[in-house]
Amino acid sequence: MSLGEVFGHEPAVRMLRQSLAEQRLVGAYLFTGPPGVGKTTLALALAAAAACPNPRDDPFDACGACASCRAAASGQHPEITLIQPAGDLTQIWQFWDRDQKPAGALQHTLQYSPVIGCKRVYIIERAETLTLAAANSLLKALEEPPPYVLFVLLAPSPARLLPTVVSRCQVVRLLPVPVETLGAWIEAKAQLDHNMALKVAEFAEGCPGHAFRLAGDSRLRQEMDRILDIAMQLPTATPLSCLRLGDDLRKAAAAIQGMLGLETETGTESITDSSSPEDSAQEPARERAGRRQIAIVIELLAGLYGDLLSLNVGGPAARILHVDRRSQLAEMAARRSTDYWLTSLEALLEARRRVDQNANLPLLVDGLAMRLAVG
Ligand SMILES: [Zn+2]
């Protein structure tokens, strides 16, 4: 992976390229952003470019052909070390030798100049899982690394690391990629149809890593179909069966959530105790997952009801999203008034906004189900 191949983070790539070209790389970076946004990808691309003894310039990048670049591409570069949590935590013995443990990653390498490439790079994934002892043991190395050493720490947000660690790093924030941009990328890369690609980008919340995983998961279309099947029963359901359908919807959404792998990546709490309100990483993982599931369902429903409204107003040939369900939807659309579909769609969009505003979720879902049933 070269810097030129990194998708969706142009400002960060531009800044790093400039620092590389002017030989002004600092010794320690902290890349922040949600899981799946591309922190590891960018860190590996930076490592390859920084290590390459024969880099291209304008724009700066790894040459892709030298021994260092080939080793980096194979994931086996002895001077580019990826340190991941051992279980839920990243512990001191992973860096420095401790009795009865494997050799520490820094112990016998930090003081030696690299041989294959120009930099020795240590990428610390999920740095929010560093134990207090491990974090403190890194402070000196982060403060004054040898000139040939580059540390790249990765974490959801600076608030989840010790301030003493953050203050020794240059922070590079990676933001989710806009849905349209990510959709176009995944459409080309995974050869999905346009609507599916946009859905995948939405579910992935602008994170290329998640989008790529979802795009390759055949269960996604099944679960989306399941949600739409359930949704199509809503307009004719009794209020009581609406509540049951609501439950089914949540289960289908949970399956999609599971494909994103969000539970495992946000499940551990950090060692630091910080609570800035704007930092969504601080929201308990389960609460956040639940909110995300409801959002997925509501977005799918809104797409479906949008189609129903279009068909009701524009007739059976109207432009719609779910073309594969056209005849069934057209029949449904004709059964209710334009006003009903409009009111229902408004209720869905309103509910979607309230999910983001931290509304009480069970109340919101039940209220929505009733509104859709009664119309
Ligand atoms: Zn090279």
Measured in Å, residue 12 CA sits from the centre of ligand 1 at 21
CA–centroid distance, 60 to ligand 1, in Å, is 11
Contacts 24+ apart (CB under 8 A), 362-365: 364/294, 365/246, 365/250, 365/294
Q: In terms of domains, do 223 and 350 share one?
A: yes
Separation of CA 75 and ligand 1 centre (Å): 14
Q: Is residue 60 part of a domain?
A: yes
* Same-domain check for residues 11 and 94: yes
Q: Has residue 135 been placed in a domain?
A: yes
State the pLDDT at residue 235. 76
Give the tokens for residue 304: 């479906």
Residues 145 and 224 in one domain: no
CA of 68 to the centre of ligand 1 (A): 6
Specify whether 111 is located in the same domain as 226: no
- Reading phi first (left if > 0) and then psi (alpha if -120 to 50, else beta), residue 249 is in alpha
Residues 21, 131 share a domain: yes
Q: Which segments of the chain have a pLDDT < 70?
A: 261-285, 374-375
Give, as residue ranges, everything with CB less than 5 Å from ion ligand 1.
52, 62-63, 66, 69
pLDDT at 55: 97
The count of structural domains within the chain is: 2
Residue given tokens 């790894």 in the structure block: 62
Question: pLDDT tens for residues 123-177?
Answer: 999 999 999 999 999 999 999 999 999 999 999 999 999 999 999 999 999 999 9
For residues 226 and 154, membership in a common domain is answered with no
CA 272 to CA 365: how far, in whole Å? Answer: 34
Compute, in angstroms, the gap from residue 367 CA to the centroid of ligand 1. Answer: 59
**DSSP class of residue 130?**
B
- How many helices and strands (H and E) does the chain possess? 15, 5
Residue 180 belongs to a domain: no
C-alpha 137 – ligand 1 centre gap (Å): 32
Q: How far is the CA of 220 from the centre of ligand 1 (A)?
A: 39
Ligand 1: centre distance to CA 174 (Å): 25
My answer on whether 166 and 290 are in the same domain is no
Please give the single-letter amino acid code of residue 147.
P
State the distance from the centre of ligand 1 to the C-alpha of 16, rounded, in angstroms: 17
C-alpha of residue 117 to centroid of ligand 1, in Å: 8
| CATH code of residue 54 | 3.40.50.300
4 CA distance to ligand 1 middle (Å): 14
Residue-range definition of the domain harbouring residue 229: 217-374
The answer to whether position 333 is within a domain reads: yes
Q: Give the distance (Å) from ligand 1 centre to CA of residue 288.
A: 42
Residue where the block lists tokens 């799918």: 300
Which residue among 173, 208, 235 closes a domain?
173
Domain boundary, last residue among 155, 173, 191:
173
- Say how many Å lie between the CA of residue 11 and the centre of ligand 1: 23
284 and 142: one domain? no
Question: Ligand 1 mean position to 121 CA, how many Å?
Answer: 15
The last residue of a domain, from among 173, 206, 225: 173
Tell me how long the chain is: 375
Q: How far is the CA of 48 from the centre of ligand 1 (A)?
A: 7
Distance 119 CA to ligand 1 centre (A): 12
On whether both 8 and 147 belong to a single domain, the answer is yes
Question: What is the reported pLDDT for 283?
Answer: 60
Asked whether residue 91 falls in the same domain as residue 164, the answer is yes
Three-class SS state of 109: coil
Residue 70 Cα to ligand 1 middle (Å): 7
- What tokens appear for 233 in the block? 């029963």
Question: How far is the centre of ligand 1, averaged over its atoms, from the C-alpha of 172 (Å)?
Answer: 24
pLDDT of residue 152: 98
Residues 274, 341 share a domain: yes
- Ligand 1 centroid to residue 149 C-alpha, Å: 17
- 175, 231, 245 from 227: Cα distances, Å: 29, 6, 10
How many angstroms does the Cα of residue 55 sit away from the middle of ligand 1?
A: 6
Residues 315, 256: one domain?
Answer: yes
Distance 54 CA to ligand 1 centre (A): 5
ipTM: 0.99
pLDDT of residue 359: 81
* Within a domain: 260: yes
Place of tokens 């004709």: 334
Say how many Å lie between the CA of residue 245 and the centre of ligand 1: 57
DSSP 17-63: HHHHHTT---SEEEEE--TTSSHHHHHHHHHHHHH-SS-BTTTTB--
